[in-house]
């Protein structure tokens, strides 16, 4: 494994397209993919009513993972641990929505558009990183470095 420095982690978080958020839902883990943006050091996203939001309300502790392929080593991944909070400041909410729209507006294959993806009833959630770590597989795609080390 190759340890990534803070600048490398920040780049992956800024450029990543899909994150996976791990939550505690009662007595079981719960992981879902999500679209997100970085805003002032926080990771922000929107979500609607459902299991993800209910789990966040019960227990705000989360772990978010963003990964991408890397030609020279196979893959690189960043993990952010922190606590999710519902954004109540209207200015910050507007900034988060603008950041999400700016990041995803050109991805028509995902069908992202202001009216369809960002209806008013969907709250903005922010995660202030408490711990950020990053790693890359080393030495190419040998059996010891593939994801899951298969």
**Domain extents for the chain?**
2-149
Q: Which helix H or strand E contains 12, and what residues bound it? A: helix 6-15
Q: What confidence score (pLDDT) does residue 6 get? A: 97
With a cut of 70, which residues of the chain have pLDDT below it? 106-121, 139-150
Specify the pLDDT at position 116.
47
Give the H or E element holding residue 52: helix 51-58
Q: How far apart are the first and last CA of the chain?
A: 15
pLDDT at 83: 98
- Topology (CATH level 3) of domain 2-149: Pnp Oxidase; Chain A (2.30.110)
């Amino acid at each position: 494994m190759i340890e990534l420095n803070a600048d490398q982690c920040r780049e992956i978080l800024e450029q990543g397209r899909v994150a996976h958020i791990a939550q505690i839902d009662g007595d079981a883990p719960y992981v879902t993919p999500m679209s997100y943006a970085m805003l002032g050091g926080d990771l922000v996203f929107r979500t609607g009513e459902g299991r993800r939001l209910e789990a966040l309300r019960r227990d705000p502790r989360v772990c978010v993972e963003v990964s991408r392929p890397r030609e020279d080593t196979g893959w690189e991944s960043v993990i952010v641990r922190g606590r999710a909070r519902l954004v109540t400041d209207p200015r910050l909410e507007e900034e988060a929505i603008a950041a999400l729209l700016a990041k995803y507006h050109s991805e028509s294959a995902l069908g992202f558009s202001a009216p369809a993806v960002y209806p008013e009833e969907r709250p903005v959630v922010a995660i202030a990183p408490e711990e950020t770590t990053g790693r890359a597989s080393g030495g190419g795609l040998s059996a010891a470095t593939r994801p899951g080390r298969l």
